[in-house]
């Protein structure tokens, strides 16, 4: 199973910033660094893909520089979570690290050997949780 979430806010906000700066009468030489920084941000965070196969849950953001891969056997549990969308990208939360590009829903993974929970943004977290438990050969726990 593979799902992809696109960073629609970035597609709107970044061009607006470029147009706004261009309208300020700033010289082109001063605009180049801003455009380069915004282009790098867009390349790193324009989408978030999650793939679940027979052995792993893996994700990648943008062009794939930011990514993670976890063995299904190392996942103690997972569940669907909602959160306050106070930004996008990589967020440190109390006891968790969140990777997201849009929305306010994610899957939460408890992975052996990790000190923090892993939250990965998704538009359909319930389907992913059910699929992960099916691949693990376990029923979804009723307590989580």
The answer to whether position 59 is within a domain reads yes
- Partnered with residue 93 across adjacent β-strands are 96
CA atoms of 49 and 134, how far apart (whole Å): 20
- pLDDT tops 50 at residue 144: no
The answer to whether position 144 is within a domain reads no
Identify the domain containing residue 38 by its residue range.
Answer: 1-138
Q: What is the pLDDT of residue 36?
A: 85
The answer to whether position 143 is within a domain reads no
State how far Cα 76 lies from the chain centre: 20
Tell me if residue 26 falls in helix, strand or coil. coil
CATH number at residue 83: 2.30.29.30
The domain tally of the chain equals 1
- pLDDT tops 50 at residue 143: no
Q: Which residue, 45, 47, 58, 29, is CA-closest to 132?
A: 58
Residue bearing the bigger pLDDT, 2 or 31: 2
Q: How far are the Cα atoms of 51, 54, 109, 110 from residue 113, in angstroms, in the given order?
A: 21, 21, 12, 9
pTM of the model: 0.86
With beta carbons less than 8 A apart as the criterion, state whether 75 and 136 touch.
Answer: yes
With beta carbons less than 8 A apart as the criterion, state whether 79 and 113 touch.
Answer: no
Q: Tens digits of per-residue pLDDT, 11-34?
A: 788 788 877 877 777 677 777 888
Q: Tens digits of per-residue pLDDT, 67-100?
A: 999 999 999 999 999 988 767 889 998 899 999 9
């Amino acid at each position: 199973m593979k799902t992809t979430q696109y960073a629609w806010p970035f597609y709107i906000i970044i061009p607006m910033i470029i147009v706004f700066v261009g309208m300020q009468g700033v010289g082109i030489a001063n605009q180049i660094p801003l455009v380069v920084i915004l282009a790098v941000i867009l390349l790193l965070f324009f989408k978030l893909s999650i793939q679940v196969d027979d052995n792993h849950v893996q994700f990648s953001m943008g062009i794939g520089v930011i990514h993670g891969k976890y063995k299904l056997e190392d996942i103690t549990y997972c569940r669907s979570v909602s959160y306050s969308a106070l930004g996008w990208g990589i967020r440190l939360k109390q006891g968790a690290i969140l990777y997201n590009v849009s929305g306010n829903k994610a899957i939460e993974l408890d992975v052996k050997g990790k000190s923090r929970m892993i939250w990965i943004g998704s538009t359909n977290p319930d389907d992913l949780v059910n699929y992960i438990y099916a691949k693990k050969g376990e029923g979804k726990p009723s307590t989580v």
